[in-house]
Amino acid sequence: MSTDLKRADILTIQRILPHRYPFLLVDKVEEINGTQSAVGYKNVTMNEPHFQGHFPGSPIMPGVTIVEAMAQTAGVMIGVALDQLDTNMLIYFMSIDKCKFRRKVIPGDVLRMDLTTLRGKPGGKVWRFSGVATVKGEMAAEAEFMAMLDLPKDDA
């Protein structure tokens, strides 16, 4: 692993993303390669509120939360690469394309999310990403999505 690759633990993630429990869906991000790629992890636990109703007796992580977890991983990657700690950066979904679900994600699983930037550059507002979420090497979901960065205005 190159020494240029960076990582973000949960405390760093909270300094980048505005999300908090129960909607913070990434626990750590590793192998951050600038704005190009990153790998995020979500430890799926039974105490998450969506399992109360999705589905009682057969808990399955909703597909939309898997896609959101991939998007949050992309947000952390961009936040680390662009040094956006403690700046109140916001990222908004613009589109989700080519989204497919292949495997159930259940409590006890570790969701690995491999993210790649397809379009976007420092200073740009609109970014496009590709994400693949896996559990034990088996694909759970994949999607391409676009997001708009709302970077804080420089008051200087």
Catalytic residue numbers? 54
- How many residues are recorded in the chain? 156
CA–CA separation, 31 vs 39, rounded Å? 6
Two tokens, residue 7: 């990582």
Complete DSSP assignment for the chain: --TT-EEE-HHHHHHH----TTS---SEEEEEETTTEEEEEEE--TTSGGGGTS-TTS----HHHHHHHHHHHHHHHHHHHTT-TTS--EEEEEEEEEEEE-S---TT-EEEEEEEEEE--TT-SEEEEEEEEEETTEEEEEEEEEEEEEPPPP--
